[in-house]
Homo-oligomer: A and B are copies of this chain.
């Protein structure tokens, strides 16, 4: 049913090499060019991608491995990647790892099998296994969100994000603070953000901080928040992600605590929802979309054999909104 290049060649009475040359802009006489134009159009000819890739030994696909599809950060990053790749005439193949390291590794191998031009990976943690597979794959692998000294990466300044947030809330007069973080297995979110925050705390005398840990899920965060409220009744809870902050907001509502007067809350991420809820959530904006665009550009340059910067650190921005009370004013 679908026409092949040989069919076209036969219909036009030329060799298939001529048809191929016509299709790829090789030297073809005006006469045959016109004839082939007509025939390919009438026959509705579309070249077979596999045959092309088989010969070319490559594709214009960029594989993207995301931890999950239904997260704001992942969605924004994917949108950025997609926009950039499409502009360059390529395509994005999305692989959902479902927050499972095994599947992340499988995905890399599978994408390598499919000879994608490059892989963009958003891992929770970079393990030696990742490096091994990336090396064996023989195609460029670029990390987003987590750095590595062995792979190219686009990362956020998580340390500075923590520092900015820490300094800001201390400025606002908070001295009894709970930090609700995530596992330290996550270098960027788990360690760096916390480290930045801890540095800010160190710069300030007489501040008591209680560290807690949650998963990335809203429901989990909410449960831990209840424990925090019982155990140490802080004036503020700094949450490692906006989603965690949403869980804490929920817990505060349930406890009947008004935000920010009875409990201040902050997040990290800059999710759209932070501006929608009331009060709006003070957070640090991470440029997910821009990271996606940049990652796509870089991985395409890598695929083309160019040298690119080893690591790009994207800047973050503190968004001062309504969920943090200014204790200085109140105590006047």
Q: Which residues of A contact B (CB under 8 A)?
A: 1-2, 44, 46-51, 53-54, 68-72, 75-76, 78-79, 82-83, 86, 91-96, 98, 109-110, 112-115, 136, 138, 218, 246-247, 249-250, 253, 272-273, 276-278
Contact = CB atoms under 8 A, between A and B. Distances in A.
A138 B95 CA distance: 26
A138 to B, nearest CB: 6
Contact of A50 (B53, B83, B92): B53
A79 B98 CA distance: 9
Nearest to A58: B50
A142 to B, nearest CB: 19
B96 A93 contact: no
The 4 closest A-B pairs by CB, nearest first: A70-B75, A50-B54, A253-B278, A94-B94
Nearest to A109: B46
A86 B136 CA distance: 24
A48 B112 CA distance: 10
Contacts of A51: 50, 54
A105 to B, nearest CB: 14
A82 B96 contact: yes
Contacts of A1: 138
A48 B54 contact: yes
A112 B246 CA distance: 42
Oligomer copy total: 2
Contacts of A46: 109, 112-113
From A68, A93, A109, name the one whose CB has the most chain B CB atoms within 10 angstroms: A93
A72 B70 contact: yes
A242 to B, nearest CB: 11
A212 B43 CA distance: 48
Given A70-B76, A82-B96, A115-B50, A250 B273 contact: no
A237 B179 CA distance: 38
14 contacts: A46-B109, A48-B115, A49-B114, A69-B79, A69-B82, A71-B75, A82-B96, A91-B110, A92-B94, A218-B272, A246-B273, A250-B278, A276-B277, A278-B278
Contacts of A96: 78-79, 82, 86, 92
Given A249-B278, A250-B276, 20 more contacts: A44-B136, A46-B112, A48-B115, A49-B114, A50-B51, A50-B53, A50-B115, A51-B54, A68-B79, A69-B75, A70-B72, A92-B94, A92-B96, A218-B276, A246-B273, A246-B276, A250-B278, A273-B273, A273-B276, A276-B277
A86 B103 CA distance: 11
A48 to B, nearest CB: 7
